[in-house]
Structure 1
Amino acid sequence: MRSILITGGNGGLGLGIARYFLQKDGECRIWLGVRANRDAADLLAAEFPERCRTVALEVTDATAWKDAVDAITAETGRIDVLVNNAGMHRDHLLAAMPDEAWHGVISSNLDSVFLGCRAVVTPMMRQRSGRIINIASLSALLPPLGQTNYAAAKAGVVALTRTLAKETARAGITVNAVLPGYVETEALGGMDDDAKKQAKAGIPMRRFGKPEEVAAAVFFLASAEASYVTGASLKIDGGIF
């Protein structure tokens, strides 16, 4: 039974990825990394009581990562997949960006990925196998106004992914990044109807993506069939260029 840790486990995308794995792979066990807000994650865990549970994880804290990974490996003996999904954005034009908006976004989106990868690489190397999938963003390639912090963090995730893929390739570990565009999650909740209409107009498919469409790509990259795919950055954006 594969042990899979998904951070940001209480958000729409994290839950969508977890549900996809639970429905497609009857042999996996999902661990949802959560902070204080965990109601939605608890509901999913209750729905799959034998194969899904939550684990306390503040992704910007190295000790919290060690404790979470130790708890998983103590119970299952291994950790097979890490999906670094946690993150947030605080948009401001750079000239008016508060220091805490810069540092907070860099920490939650980039430092968290570094800490998570470092926490799982050693047990994965002992196993001589593992899959790491880092959720970046289309903003890493096509940054919009007001996202110097978020775009820089996500571009850093892409670069980290490529470098770590080289470092771990001979150990049987693959490291890939997924770059979603507009996806129907709580992240779009702050957009008004006019903003959504304008955003859709810039998407060749003229619609937003669904969490399960991102989850399908993550599921493939975590599979045995993706054993020769590493260091990749996969855009999932409806055709935006």
Structure 2
Amino acid sequence: MRLDGKVVLVTGASRGIGLGIVERFHEEGAIVYAGSTSNPSGVYPDGVTGITLDVADEAQWKTAIKQIVEARGRIDCLVNNAGIAVYDGVADGSTENWRKVIGVNQDGVFFGMREVIPHMQKEKSGSIINISSIWGKAAVAGAHAYHASKGALVMMTKNAAITYVKEGIRVNSVHPGFIDTPLTQAQDPAINEFVIGMTPMGRAGTPREIANGCLYLASDEASFVTGAELVIDGGYLAQ
């Protein structure tokens, strides 16, 4: 039980990587709150608490963290997983799409860290895990706002790690490669074929493989790890 009794909030938790993290953390004894815009019933394991959370909405963040802290007295770990992708390039990108992607992928992480860090400071302990992407470190054509937002998470993570390291708070980023999720299943098959074809292992990853990496970062086993970039991509970025 590597997370026994730890109070955790996972965003974007209703499917894909988020749901995989919820399930894995629950298996290891965490007290898990699963945040999503849909907050679907019947999806989460027994004992997991679903909460409605649009990460781009500051007010919903305040409500969610207040709910958790009032119920449990603290929050030990935040996994900023919620994210969206739009495949516009710079020249054909709309302001609406840009702001939507940045609002979820970047603003949402800022709001989340801002809300939980004061509670972690009181406990002199905490782990924040920001889910970035291989496309926060390398580019493909299009997806300009997605690249910008996921790249920003790298430095947002490192800054928070250094700023709060003396207060027992660890902040790390995770960079998944191509993962088989409802999000990737719904996008253009040509994109999927391209990325899998560029992956040395020749296959998609699974949400559980990402969750296993997050489990390590959330646990006390990673007590000397902060500001790190954990790449889980089947060798994509090694090329």
Deviations 1:18-62 (A, max 9, x none): 001112x12x11001111x232xx2233x31xx311112111121
Instruction: State the partner residue of 1:14.
Output: 18
Cα distance in 1 between the residues matched to 2:173 and 2:233: 14
- 1:94 pairs with 2:90: yes
- 1:34 pairs with 2:33: no
- 1:174 pairs with 2:173: no
Q: RMSD of aligned C-alpha atoms?
A: 1.2
Following superposition, the deviation at residue 143 of structure 1 comes to 1.6
Question: What TM-score do you get using the length of structure 1 for normalisation?
Answer: 0.93
Following superposition, the deviation at residue 195 of structure 1 comes to 4.2
1:78-227 superposed matches below 5 A: 78-227=74-223
Following superposition, the deviation at residue 89 of structure 1 comes to 0.9
Following superposition, the deviation at residue 201 of structure 1 comes to 1.7
Unaligned runs of 5+ in 2: none
Following superposition, the deviation at residue 126 of structure 1 comes to 0.2
Cα distance in 1 between the residues matched to 2:225 and 2:208: 21
Instruction: State the partner residue of 2:66.
Output: 70
Following superposition, the deviation at residue 94 of structure 1 comes to 1.3
Cα distance in 1 between the residues matched to 2:57 and 2:134: 26
- 1:228 pairs with 2:224: yes
Conservation of the 8 A alpha-carbon contact between 1:44 and 1:52: no
Following superposition, the deviation at residue 133 of structure 1 comes to 0.2
Calculate percent identity across the aligned residue pairs: 37
Change (3 A) 1:60 1:192: closer
Deviations 1:184-231 (A, max 9, x none): 101211345554333222110000100000000000000001011000
Cα distance in 2 between the residues matched to 1:95 and 1:194: 22
Q: Which moved more, 1:196-205 or 1:88-97?
A: 196-205
Amino acid at match of 1:234: L
Unaligned runs of 5+ in 1: none
Conservation of the 8 A alpha-carbon contact between 1:7 and 1:32: yes
Amino acid at match of 1:43: G
Cα distance in 2 between the residues matched to 1:81 and 1:177: 13
Give the ranges of 4+ consecutive aligned residues of structure 1 lying more than 6 Å apart after TM superposition.
none
Cα distance in 1 between the residues matched to 2:149 and 2:98: 9
Question: What TM-score do you get using the length of structure 2 for normalisation?
Answer: 0.94
